[in-house]
Structure 1
Amino acid sequence: MTNPHSNHWDIFCAVVDNYGDIGVTWRLSKQLALEYQLPIVLWVDDLKSFAHILPALDPALGSQTLEGVTINQWNTPLDLDYTPGAVLIEAFACELPESVKATAKASSEPPLWINLEYLSAEDWVDGCHGLPSFQGGGINKYFYMPGFSAASGGLICEKSLFDERDAWQADSANKLNLFKSLGLSGIEDDDKVISLFSYETLALGGLCDLWSQSSTPVHLLVPKGRSLSSLASYLPKAPADVEPGEQFCHGALSIHILPMTDQAGYDRLLWSADFNIVRGEDSFLRAQWASRPFIWHIYQQEEDYHLVKLEAFMRLYCDNLAPEIADCWKNLNLAFNQQQADAVQQHWQNIESFASPLLAHAKQWPIDALKTTDLATRLVQFVKKSLR
């Protein structure tokens, strides 16, 4: 598709989590630039954290171009010129600089102003997607709502992703070579491999107790960070002192410490595991695209509203599952999110008896969820329609 606009798009993102807000925004920026040849300018407030998932990025440079995207340092006050283009996107209500808003409103051809919201499976998303909010100065801000329905803003997924995943998973040598490249040892082809990227939870201790008593080897792959805080009793030293490549064994369980990786490397890690435990939004969606069973550790909110969001997604995900399998998977996710160590053990044991049908469902789900049109495509269509 040719570029439908003569001007660039600006995308502003405040870094909240290495694989969270910036993870989603960077994936979208790359896809818009590479698949749609759109001139994208990505403004980021924390280049040092961004560099954790983009090693080629130089945090000392105020402006640089990588993978077709111009990346600008977003300082306060803004010390780089902002020139309005065709589109202005504030990612996840990051609150644009006042100078940017003023310049956009004063432009003779104001940009299409879009607030890219967080992903949700809740029913209200469809009704809010695309709604305008008047900002003064004759300009509206439109709410763009990613979601799982055909009436929503869609889901981020590169056009070649599923083919790349299928080719990777077709040869087990790929995963074994990946583990070796990450400094992990002792993992055999038939061993159970679980990747972990969660918040703190007592449920992890319950699962580790169970896995350590397994009749077959279990390998837990975990990066330094919040997940390790819940595994302190399984480590011979403080979580902050462990190093990538280290391995700690407890019965049948081996805990491997992962090095930081870029986004492509994280995708391959998810493809290589038998089961993934993920958090937030970016890793949550990439775990779905990995076509492997998973637990979603959703970010905790006041009055347990996060459980409402979890329930909404689980209803969608389990729609085509047999009731007994659906209930088992739901109970596992709820127990994990409610820090129920004993209950999560029981539900894990139950779900292992449904391993084959759950894996088959995980493989079909990405095809059903994408509904043939990804977020970037829908966003380009939304912009094209709005700028007529």
Structure 2
Amino acid sequence: MQQKRPQWDIFCAVVDNFGDIGICWRLSKQLAAEHGIVVRLWVDDLVSFQRLCPEIDPALAVQYHDGVDIWHWHSVIDWPTITVASVVIEALACTIPEAYQQQMAACTSKPLWLNLEYLSAESWVDGCHGMASPHPQLPLTKYFFFPGFTANTGGLLREQPLLAQLADFAADQTKQQQFWQQLGLPNAQDFGQRISLFAYSHTHLASLLHCWQHAEQTTLCVIPIGTLAEQVQALLPELTVKQSQRFGALTIKILPFLPQPDYDLLLSACDVNFVRGEDSIIRAQWAAKPFVWQIYRQTEDAHLLKLQAFLQRYTADWPPSLAQVVVDFHLAWNSEQPLAKSWQQFSHEFTLLAEKNLLWRNKLESHGDLASNLVRFVEKKIIM
């Protein structure tokens, strides 16, 4: 008799446009494709989802793509008619609807409830990963599952073929040329450096653009359409979304928002990657190119403590002088400081940073991938 495939529900509330749904969509596809799990992804914002996956129809309450059942969270009128999955994931600080929690509590065999937390490099994460938290009213227990940068966490999202695909792309000039051609940049490989700039706004962005405009080498900067692109257009009114524009040694192209697989290739094709939030920083680390992380802003500069915790882990075995250069530019980029001086120091270290990033990627790879670690955690809990 054929064994029934496990069924998981993943709940995702889109808070920061793309980071939350980016993580949940990648995870859902990987669980279905690599682990044979029937995944039902609950999403509250299908419009943002469509930016990452153009096949999504925001008007549909239920649809199926890439092996995943996708349900619009707010289209459900009668939650008691929804069958509870055997594993329920509350992703990235969202709250499962109260009616669904009641359904979980009413099950004879209670589902395994996991709280998939935000990514953090803070030291306390290792001790909290996998901890149980009984519900204060309902007969349910929730387990905390932390992505992270150590073997004592759940690791980072990474599809099994990803690194081989990136290596193949990096070694094939023809594939890279075809990729740039598709983006309307057939001469991209002629530039001295290529920079992807995905970020929030920055008070001193003009000083960074000035550095690139007056540098000795030519720079191609590609910017996804959005708030930062609008800021750049305000600084450089000649720039349009239709074609690239040259400003001294700097050429800028505003790109349409890319589907996730294409964004992964963009990170691999560029020499430097500015990334923001959670999903893109993970992909930048797998690309192993020099990167700059703009962490999600929080009140009272709490995000800077999280950034410093990451930088401390990331640069732990580096020469102090190199680590300081990376820390200085990250802090300037994340705390609205002038950028010119710290950028000059940072940009001089790209060759060494690329070498260090390969070693860092190897270390992260040794911790396994988030989806596989999740499956193992679930299997152990169910057996117990």
TM over 0.5: yes
Matched, 1:92 2:92: yes
Q: How does 1:1-388 map to 2 (within 5 A)?
A: 6-75=5-74, 78-79=77-78, 81-135=81-135, 136-236=137-237, 242-243=240-241, 245-341=242-338, 344-388=339-383
Once the two structures are TM-superposed, the CA of residue 134 in structure 1 deviates from its matched residue by 1.3
Deviations 1:215-265 (A, max 9, x none): 12111100111212432443326x8xx42x422221111110101211001
Q: Please say which of residues 211-220 and 185-194 is displaced more in the overlay.
A: 185-194
Unaligned runs of 5+ in 1: none
3-state SS in 2 of match to 1:23? helix
3-state SS in 1 of match to 2:114? strand
Deviations 1:129-161 (A, max 9, x none): 111111133210111111111111211111111
Once the two structures are TM-superposed, the CA of residue 305 in structure 1 deviates from its matched residue by 0.9
Corresponding letter in the other structure for 2:71: N
Once residues 283 and 93 of structure 1 are traced to their aligned partners in structure 2, the CA distance between those partners, rounded to angstroms, is: 18
Once residues 216 and 142 of structure 1 are traced to their aligned partners in structure 2, the CA distance between those partners, rounded to angstroms, is: 51
Q: TM-score if structure 1 supplies the norm length?
A: 0.93
3-state SS in 2 of match to 1:154? coil
Corresponding letter in the other structure for 2:141: N
Corresponding letter in the other structure for 1:319: A
The number of residue pairs the alignment matches comes to 380
Deviations 1:59-116 (A, max 9, x none): 2222122111111111165457421121011111211111101101111112111111
Once residues 3 and 287 of structure 2 are traced to their aligned partners in structure 1, the CA distance between those partners, rounded to angstroms, is: 32
Report if aligned partners of 2:43, 2:70 keep a CA contact under 8 Å in 1.
Answer: yes
Once the two structures are TM-superposed, the CA of residue 186 in structure 1 deviates from its matched residue by 4.0
Corresponding letter in the other structure for 2:264: D
Once residues 286 and 261 of structure 2 are traced to their aligned partners in structure 1, the CA distance between those partners, rounded to angstroms, is: 13
3-state SS in 2 of match to 1:49? helix
Residues 269 and 305 of structure 1: is their aligned pair in 2 closer, same or farther, counting only changes over 3 Å? same
Segments ≥4 residues shifted beyond 3 Å: 3-7, 76-81
Report if aligned partners of 2:132, 2:144 keep a CA contact under 8 Å in 1.
Answer: yes
Once residues 85 and 372 of structure 1 are traced to their aligned partners in structure 2, the CA distance between those partners, rounded to angstroms, is: 28
Report if aligned partners of 1:4, 1:384 keep a CA contact under 8 Å in 2.
Answer: no
Q: TM-score if structure 2 supplies the norm length?
A: 0.94
Corresponding letter in the other structure for 1:8: Q
Corresponding letter in the other structure for 1:350: Q
3-state SS in 2 of match to 1:75? helix
Once residues 259 and 7 of structure 1 are traced to their aligned partners in structure 2, the CA distance between those partners, rounded to angstroms, is: 37
Once residues 371 and 181 of structure 1 are traced to their aligned partners in structure 2, the CA distance between those partners, rounded to angstroms, is: 34
Give the fraction of aligned pairs with identical amino acids, expressed as a percent.
Answer: 42
Corresponding letter in the other structure for 1:224: I
Deviations 1:167-188 (A, max 9, x none): 1011233333212101235423
Report if aligned partners of 2:296, 2:303 keep a CA contact under 8 Å in 1.
Answer: yes
Residues 264 and 18 of structure 1: is their aligned pair in 2 closer, same or farther, counting only changes over 3 Å? farther
Once residues 5 and 356 of structure 1 are traced to their aligned partners in structure 2, the CA distance between those partners, rounded to angstroms, is: 51
Residues 142 and 206 of structure 1: is their aligned pair in 2 closer, same or farther, counting only changes over 3 Å? same
Report if aligned partners of 2:150, 2:367 keep a CA contact under 8 Å in 1.
Answer: no
Once the two structures are TM-superposed, the CA of residue 16 in structure 1 deviates from its matched residue by 2.2
Once residues 37 and 108 of structure 1 are traced to their aligned partners in structure 2, the CA distance between those partners, rounded to angstroms, is: 25
3-state SS in 2 of match to 1:150? coil
Once residues 130 and 363 of structure 1 are traced to their aligned partners in structure 2, the CA distance between those partners, rounded to angstroms, is: 29
Once the two structures are TM-superposed, the CA of residue 17 in structure 1 deviates from its matched residue by 3.2
Q: Aligned-residue CA RMSD in angstroms?
A: 1.8
3-state SS in 1 of match to 2:188? coil
Unaligned runs of 5+ in 2: none
Corresponding letter in the other structure for 2:305: V
